[in-house]
Amino acid sequence: MEPTGYPETEFSFTDTSIAFQDKSNEDLKKARLMFSTFNYKWLLKMGPSIAKFGLNAGLPVKGLLMDTIFAQFCGGESIEDCAETVERLHKAGIGTILDYSVEGQEDERTFDATAQEIIRTIEKAAEEPDKIPFSVFKVTGIARFIILEKATKGEDHLAGDDLAEFQRVKNRFFKITGRAAELKIPILVDAEETWIQVTIDRLTEEAMRQYNKEACIVYNTLQFYRHDRLEYLKSCILNAQEEGYYLGYKLVRGAYMEKERLRAYKSGYPSPIQRSKAESDLDFDKGLRICIDYIDRVHIVAGTHNEQSCRFLTELMHEKGIAVNDKSVYFAQLLGMSDHISYNLAHAGYNVAKYVPYGPLKEVLPYLSRRAEENSSVKGQAGRELGLINAELKRRNQNPK
């Protein structure tokens, strides 16, 4: 799909024939059953422990997990396993962001292996940039949390083994971003908790200054459930203008709200979190507008499952005369969620990419647990997914081929 021209603001997110164009009736019924189970809180609470126990004990649970929740939210256990998903998305005009989703490891050997695996995703993207437009990584995948927390006070507060360890973290970080720059593959650095984000911001800003002089390669992530991110964005734009480099940002609402509020309360400092969801929504959309106003300097990936924000961004593009296929603007959603947004935007000609997590089943269980948890509200994501699936099955029943 090679769309050209300027965006049309009139299109529908509710066209399920487009949203589920590559799903069979069996696929949809399986997804409906899975999303329905997310309404059982006891299952969400006990499920990860049961699954981990079953896998460790050699019980025959892997097939069930692989055929249900893993198949819904992951591309495979390896880069090679993701090939079918990459191709399926590409046929619908949607790119893939390979996301190595192994978590919870804290030894140097694993950090080195993870860094090398991330580089493999960059090299894979370089082979098929039309299908895999970005790479991505989390800094906690290549560093101990505690060392990032210590580094937040400044490198001059590190000494001895801590300083040596943080230097290894930096070496991994710049080996990854340097390879992305060498192969000209944009790379997204995910945001994390506020008490380590300062370190992540510093590393990412340094990489931007080094690698974004001629093109936008390195992208930071802004979490707008934080009330300070608009001012941070504005200051970064001023710095980039003065020093002459491009800024890349993935804009999200955020994923650590409850943890952030609890830590702030227990530690006795002001919460970094917005007072309400409405304020997060408002700042997210303000962030979009600021970035679009500086589109000659700022490239963005709108990482959102919110229909209103996606619609708002298409209207901003229309207002500024930005072509639908302008590579400065991408929309992104997670695999297995919000296909009505991803597929309908892609059908209308916009640049869209899906995060496609992968990794050994046992290692991605924490990721799968979070997807199940955030889909657990009937009034939230799961309810929306179920409504769309039921609508499409009804449409197909009424209009059989």
In a domain, residue 2? The reply is: no
DSSP 40-90: -HHHHHHHHHHHHHHHHTT-TTHHHHHHTHHHHH--BSSTGGGHHHHHHHH
Give the pLDDT confidence score for residue 387 in this predicted structure. 92
Record the pTM.
Answer: 0.92
CATH number at residue 314: 3.20.20.220
Q: Give CA–CA dist 68/36, Å, rounded.
A: 12
Give the pLDDT confidence score for residue 100 in this predicted structure. 96
DSSP label at 4? -
DSSP 230-278: HHHHHHHHHHHHHHT--EEEEEE--S-HHHHHHHHHHHTS---B-SSHH
Give the total number of structural domains in the chain.
1
- How many other CB atoms sit within 10 Å of the CB of residue 63? 8
In a domain, residue 127? The reply is: yes
In a domain, residue 326? The reply is: yes
> At which residue do the structure tokens 């901003």 appear?
316
Contact 351, 325 (CB under 8 A): yes
* Three-class SS state of 98: strand
Give the pLDDT confidence score for residue 188 in this predicted structure. 98
Q: Any idea how long the chain is?
A: 401
Range of the domain at 258: 72-371
Vertex 111, ends 105 and 114: CA angle to 5°? 95
In a domain, residue 36? The reply is: no
Spell out the per-residue pLDDT of the chain, length 401, in tens: 344 454 455 678 999 999 999 999 999 999 998 888 877 666 666 667 777 777 777 777 788 888 988 899 999 999 999 999 999 999 999 999 999 988 767 899 999 999 999 999 999 999 999 999 999 999 999 999 999 999 998 888 899 999 999 999 999 999 999 999 999 999 999 999 999 999 999 999 999 999 999 999 999 999 999 999 999 999 999 999 999 999 999 999 987 778 888 888 999 999 999 999 999 999 999 999 999 999 999 999 999 999 999 999 999 999 999 999 999 999 999 999 999 999 999 999 999 999 999 999 988 888 888 777 766 554 567 788 999 999 999 999 988 76
Give the pLDDT confidence score for residue 392 in this predicted structure. 95
Strand pairing partners for 247? 298
Contact 8, 348 (CB under 8 A): yes
How do 94-100 and 329-334 pair as beta strands?
Answer: unpaired
Q: Give CA–CA dist 109/120, Å, rounded.
A: 17
Angstrom distances, CA of residue 318 to CA of 7, 64, 282, 329: 6, 46, 20, 12
How do 247-252 and 218-223 pair as beta strands?
Answer: parallel
In a domain, residue 5? The reply is: no
